[in-house]
Amino acid sequence: MEEGGLGIRPIKQVMRCLHGKLLWQVMKGDSLWARFAKAKYCDKRININRRTASPLWNAIHSHVDTMEECTQWIVGRGAVKFWSENWLGEQLTGPLPCDARLTVVEALTHIEDYLPIIPIHWHDKIRQIILDLNSPDRLIFTLTQNGEFSSKAYCNHIRVIGRQHQWADRIWSKFITPKTSGFMWKLMHHALPVDQRIISRGIPIVSRCVCCQTPKQEDINHLFFNSEVASQVWQ
């Protein structure tokens, strides 16, 4: 509403949030459907297996890069992949070819062998990692405080934020009824069916302002600002 809208999300945006939520479930892998989808459609890095990919999975997979920006693994027993998964705040980049199957627990037992090929600003944090063999690794959603996926937070992350309008706060006010607010919103967007708008749609009519005794063409600016009735109201 602050950006001049009605507070209703476009259906395409809703579907994108749904695809992101499904990808989140696949990345966590704690449900039967997630394990099935990951086994059928993914390789070890949630890439598309082209032989079995479906239109739905193609739409889900398009969110991989975005989801990696707002998710992180909290290391428990260290079963997450050392190179291919984000467990430090960003994904490590090792020498090519690197062992994609290497887990954190395996790498930490020989960490001194890997430190020379890891950016130096991560060395202290890696040395401070303490494994807990009784706790599973946990995937968190970094856009929320509790670490759980939020459709609202993800939607705000992926959508294009428009310019805020000063008139929006005056229209969408708790002191104004929703019906009046909706009418004013249509007025600001020139969406009222005045004569000139109807003519612009290819419907031939004779335009005559109902608020003027002298016949004049009816458009939004004239009707609400310059007509005889509007002039009296503004005065």
Tokens representing 223? 């009707």
Q: 139 pairs with which residues across the strands?
A: 73
Residues 171 and 184: their CA atoms lie apart, in Å, by 7
Residues 77 and 114: their CA atoms lie apart, in Å, by 19
Tokens representing 145? 């405080």
pLDDT in tens, the chain (235 residues): 888 888 888 899 999 999 999 999 988 888 888 888 888 877 655 665 556 678 888 888 889 889 988 999 999 999 888 888 888 888 877 665 567 788 899 988 888 888 888 888 888 888 888 898 889 999 999 999 999 999 999 999 998 888 888 889 889 988 999 999 999 999 988 899 999 999 999 999 999 998 999 889 999 999 999 999 999 999 9
Asked if 26 and 46 count as a contact pair (C-beta separation under 8 A), the reply is: yes
Q: What is the pLDDT of residue 44?
A: 54
Which letter, b or e, does each residue of 182-200 get, where b requires 16 or more Cβ atoms within 10 Å of its Cβ?
eebbeeeeeeeebbbeebe
* Secondary structure of 60-120 as H, E, C letters: HHCCHHHHHHCEEEECCCCCCECCCCCCCCCCCCCCCCCCCCCEHHHHHCCHHHHHHHCCH
According to DSSP, residue 205 is labeled -
Beta strand residue intervals within the chain, DSSP E: 71-74, 138-141
Q: What is the pLDDT of residue 142?
A: 93
